[in-house]
Structure 1
């Protein structure tokens, strides 16, 4: 009598297929690079001279700050890194904490964004003898907006800025509800700021928004605007080529057949990487990082959405051993995933090894192993129906949110600013990285909580806290949102005080937190391919900027 095969019951995530199909497979960009480069070079020289002129005008350094702000918001600060550093260093050297050249809030925000730890005591001038914010401030919408933006650069203990945030939020919300007090244009700016302050915005997306706003200003600098638009299109062309290369790489694995159970999100993954760094000098880093994030997604969906506990034990052992000889021990559906993982790392290792930097890939490989081990812990908890304490959960979930892996991997091929010390700093789980991971984990868990209740899954931090403290879900959400804001404040402190780490590396961590604020504020836009994310991708990778 023939033995009956026991039916394998698997968790079902029912991920939507790729929205984009093969749209990005072929890149048909026209070659006009030589002409564009000449125009860009000329415009860059014009703006460079304007920065130097503003720098030499010691009677009005407020104009210099406004120019720096425009350059940054237009997304072209990377073209003038030395000039901006020189300008803000000069202002810091001349004034220290005693700025008296105009908008205090703009000065404070720009200098802190550049890493200068200027004092917040200067904002006491906005308060009256009773300790309340002066009535005159409420009549200046521009300064109210700037003060609101400045508060997001605060660190723990800066009570003046805590108070200023509450005050400006309330006043700005009131203004938008009084049509006679503000124009539709100002109302829109206020609403955008309340939804997402500048410090939390992704530079590439902020540039899209700011170019449109800047163009409508009568006082706009025509050369600066044209440079921003041309450079946006130039970078978009480069990004399309990278995505085409990655699309061919991904398609070669025949994912619909060999990886049918995972989220087919190559385009969204590349966009995520683009948000980590969009600058042209990081082209190869972007390609590497996109591939490594895809590896993490394969692991995540294997553990969370398809594999049985017994299969996952075998898979975990294979990843820890990291040898092609393990492939025969795996279930058939896991073999392509395992081979892709090994092949991907071998390819990057060969490229970096040729430059004497294979060690960089080794750090990423160890992070994949660590991620793999922690996924298995989550699988064990799920299999046993165990609800860990929040502390237990965090020790694992802050790894499985992948930000330690992504940060470490993002350093690969970034150039001479990266040393082995940089990788040691990342894998030591530096405080700024831990804070970024907390933002990722808590925001992800809040939006995923209800969706994941519909199937067997690893419990989220929301459920752990609800059980441990016998608290209603709405109260947990409020508490976690407070933890997210505290994590931003912790990141600010580390950003300003961790002076041994290059600014370019710290910004990778900040940008990773910004991605969460853009994609997970209301929903899991990545997994569910939300309309907002589709719009971002179309704007950044499909629609040219009209010059």
Structure 2
């Protein structure tokens, strides 16, 4: 198959184009192909004609209100908070005694993967500042030390060139043979390669070479030792693409197997995880009470009731214990996104969707009377949430952000309506045309705009302008999330007859098989990650916003890694949610 050009996507909705010939709305309704397994006969009636609606037959939430409210944990008690304070200072003393550069790097890496690094921001920054100032990367001959140093420095925004890896290559451009004996170094180089920018071919070559090496090593050595577990985990998904909170839960269990693990650090990590989990549990219970109070789950019973999953997204995006307001507010936003997505994808008629899009675009409360009742209920809830966030921001920062929030909802609904047009007219867009709209319809831009106003940091006009036009970091995050979503949800949505997504679009225009289409879209995702890396490196946003953006991006990869984790409540996703929010980690440990 011929190599296809990397798809591009527009900077704004205004650049999206459509075929000139369009059917009228009445023609569209007559020719609409409904391929869903079942239909629901609605009680809503227009001009004395009964309306038949599509149904996705979504399963009710496995997380009932009573179950959520019954949950409790001992880790909210003060005795555990006091114990963490003691352990935290003991670890700080150990950290301050570390002298060698490599030990400092390894300690920093462990702190990050164990989820306790935010307690030591000052110490970590000093370590990295000193290491960067010493400028020894070009002199280092140890593959493991070099790659670990490169990854941590680039991750934290230091200006590090990938040229530091040239000296590890032989005259033929291959990695020198003596370095292939360093399994730990090869794994570290593999992880470092995912922090590459565009045109850094040396890191692309490193990724390909180390991937092959590690796969062969794993095939021969398969085991449960510390290194083997790390290799298998990395080959499944690299560390840079994993969600930090879920990674912490996994790594705590693996770190326990490390020969020279630090018992005090392990105990701190476990207890810190459980105390943060106690905070999340209370936030979830409060969010559940809000969800029951507004009654959208019952009033919009056609839609997915995924309150818990919508909350879990917020923990993945930013798990810092102090950001309670962010997580509870974004849970509301995510829940409304899910409802509105299902209105466009499942329940709304073409004429209703057109009307709803116009009402959201004008944000005219008087025009709300023209909507059917289920849309009125949804718009009222949406208006309340937007006003709530805007008023809170006005009090804290002195900015009236209402227009910014409304614009994101209008853009999202316009993108949903474009997909509805495609569906009802049986139109198959090109991949480029599809992605030009789909990076908006994935809802990531809306989530990140709201995130910007919900997290604590200084707001300035330059950043607000970048917010309004969706800066590069937002666009690249959205594109990765869209591709992850399409790859994970393809089977379910294709069987249900949803609008064509990126896999179908590419197959249609290129003649590729599904397997080939998947591989191509994964390559697009990888190239977009390189752009994302560079965008986070160069942008002026706060570190809190940047890290939240990256975390939201890799949360999409984790949620859709093995299917539609947001919609299909399978045992694996249930287990992961339990471990993240509900089930604490046992505090005892055994050295293995």
Task: Pick the TM interval, shorter chain.
Answer: over 0.9
Counterparts of residues 420-499 of structure 1 (less than 5 Å): 420-498=461-539
What is the aligned counterpart of 1:287 among 328, 335, 352?
A: 328
Q: Secondary structure at the match of 2:63?
A: coil
What residue in structure 2 maps to residue 142 of structure 1? 184
What residue in structure 1 maps to residue 149 of structure 2? 107
Q: Secondary structure at the match of 1:220?
A: coil
Aligned-pair CA distance for 1:161: 1.4
What residue in structure 2 maps to residue 51 of structure 1? 95
Aligned-pair CA distance for 1:541: 1.0
What residue in structure 2 maps to residue 268 of structure 1? 309
**Separation in structure 1 between the aligned mates of residue 188 and residue 479 of structure 2, nearest angstrom:** 28
The 1:316–1:131 alpha-carbon spacing in structure 2 relative to 1, beyond 3 Å, is closer
What residue in structure 2 maps to residue 94 of structure 1? 134
User: Deviation string for 1:22-45 (max 9, x for gaps)?
Assistant: 222345344754333332222222
The 1:99–1:538 alpha-carbon spacing in structure 2 relative to 1, beyond 3 Å, is farther
What residue in structure 1 maps to residue 408 of structure 2? 367
What 5-or-longer segments of structure 2 have no aligned partner? 1-45, 588-592
**Separation in structure 2 between the aligned mates of residue 370 and residue 266 of structure 1, nearest angstrom:** 24
Aligned-pair CA distance for 1:188: 2.6
The 1:101–1:63 alpha-carbon spacing in structure 2 relative to 1, beyond 3 Å, is farther
1:157 matched to 2:199: yes
Kept in 2, the 8 Å contact 1:345–1:361? The answer is: yes
Aligned-pair CA distance for 1:336: 1.6
**Separation in structure 2 between the aligned mates of residue 36 and residue 421 of structure 1, nearest angstrom:** 43
Q: Secondary structure at the match of 2:512?
A: coil
What 5-or-longer segments of structure 1 have no aligned partner? none
**Separation in structure 1 between the aligned mates of residue 374 and residue 304 of structure 2, nearest angstrom:** 15
What residue in structure 2 maps to residue 277 of structure 1? 318
What residue in structure 2 maps to residue 64 of structure 1? 104
What residue in structure 2 maps to residue 513 of structure 1? 553
What residue in structure 2 maps to residue 19 of structure 1? 62
The 1:531–1:361 alpha-carbon spacing in structure 2 relative to 1, beyond 3 Å, is farther
The 1:32–1:513 alpha-carbon spacing in structure 2 relative to 1, beyond 3 Å, is closer
**Separation in structure 1 between the aligned mates of residue 329 and residue 210 of structure 2, nearest angstrom:** 42
The 1:99–1:49 alpha-carbon spacing in structure 2 relative to 1, beyond 3 Å, is farther
What residue in structure 2 maps to residue 326 of structure 1? 367
What residue in structure 1 maps to residue 11 of structure 2? none
**Separation in structure 2 between the aligned mates of residue 185 and residue 62 of structure 1, nearest angstrom:** 19
Aligned length: 539
Deviation larger for 351-360 or 280-289: 351-360
What is the aligned counterpart of 1:527 among 567, 575, 583?
A: 567
Deviation larger for 20-29 or 334-343: 20-29
Aligned-pair CA distance for 1:517: 1.6
What is the aligned counterpart of 1:38 among 76, 82, 92?
A: 82
The 1:182–1:445 alpha-carbon spacing in structure 2 relative to 1, beyond 3 Å, is closer
Kept in 1, the 8 Å contact 2:503–2:518? The answer is: yes
Kept in 2, the 8 Å contact 1:296–1:368? The answer is: no
**Separation in structure 1 between the aligned mates of residue 356 and residue 479 of structure 2, nearest angstrom:** 27
What residue in structure 2 maps to residue 77 of structure 1? 117
What is the aligned counterpart of 1:8 among 30, 33, 51?
A: 51
What residue in structure 2 maps to residue 379 of structure 1? 420
**Separation in structure 1 between the aligned mates of residue 273 and residue 447 of structure 2, nearest angstrom:** 25
User: Deviation string for 1:391-415 (max 9, x for gaps)?
Assistant: 3222221110111001111122311
Q: Secondary structure at the match of 1:501?
A: coil
1:404 matched to 2:448: no
Kept in 1, the 8 Å contact 2:303–2:338? The answer is: yes
**Separation in structure 1 between the aligned mates of residue 274 and residue 224 of structure 2, nearest angstrom:** 31
What residue in structure 2 maps to residue 170 of structure 1? 212
Q: Secondary structure at the match of 1:7?
A: strand
The 1:37–1:4 alpha-carbon spacing in structure 2 relative to 1, beyond 3 Å, is closer
The 1:40–1:453 alpha-carbon spacing in structure 2 relative to 1, beyond 3 Å, is closer
The 1:248–1:149 alpha-carbon spacing in structure 2 relative to 1, beyond 3 Å, is same
Aligned-pair CA distance for 1:445: 2.0
Kept in 2, the 8 Å contact 1:374–1:399? The answer is: yes
What residue in structure 2 maps to residue 128 of structure 1? 170
Kept in 2, the 8 Å contact 1:65–1:106? The answer is: yes
Counterparts of residues 214-293 of structure 1 (less than 5 Å): 214-293=255-334
Kept in 2, the 8 Å contact 1:233–1:544? The answer is: yes
The 1:282–1:150 alpha-carbon spacing in structure 2 relative to 1, beyond 3 Å, is same
**Separation in structure 2 between the aligned mates of residue 467 and residue 218 of structure 1, nearest angstrom:** 53
User: Deviation string for 1:285-342 (max 9, x for gaps)?
Assistant: 1111111111111111100111000111221222223243333211122222122111
Aligned-pair CA distance for 1:357: 4.3
RMSD of Structure 2 on Structure 1 (CA)? 2.2
The 1:506–1:480 alpha-carbon spacing in structure 2 relative to 1, beyond 3 Å, is same
Kept in 1, the 8 Å contact 2:489–2:560? The answer is: no
Please report the TM-score for the alignment, with normalisation by the length of structure 1.
0.93
Aligned-pair CA distance for 1:436: 1.5
Kept in 1, the 8 Å contact 2:326–2:451? The answer is: yes
Aligned-pair CA distance for 1:361: 4.8
Q: Secondary structure at the match of 1:48?
A: helix
Kept in 2, the 8 Å contact 1:62–1:101? The answer is: no
**Separation in structure 1 between the aligned mates of residue 463 and residue 276 of structure 2, nearest angstrom:** 27
**Separation in structure 2 between the aligned mates of residue 183 and residue 455 of structure 1, nearest angstrom:** 41
**Separation in structure 1 between the aligned mates of residue 465 and residue 69 of structure 2, nearest angstrom:** 37
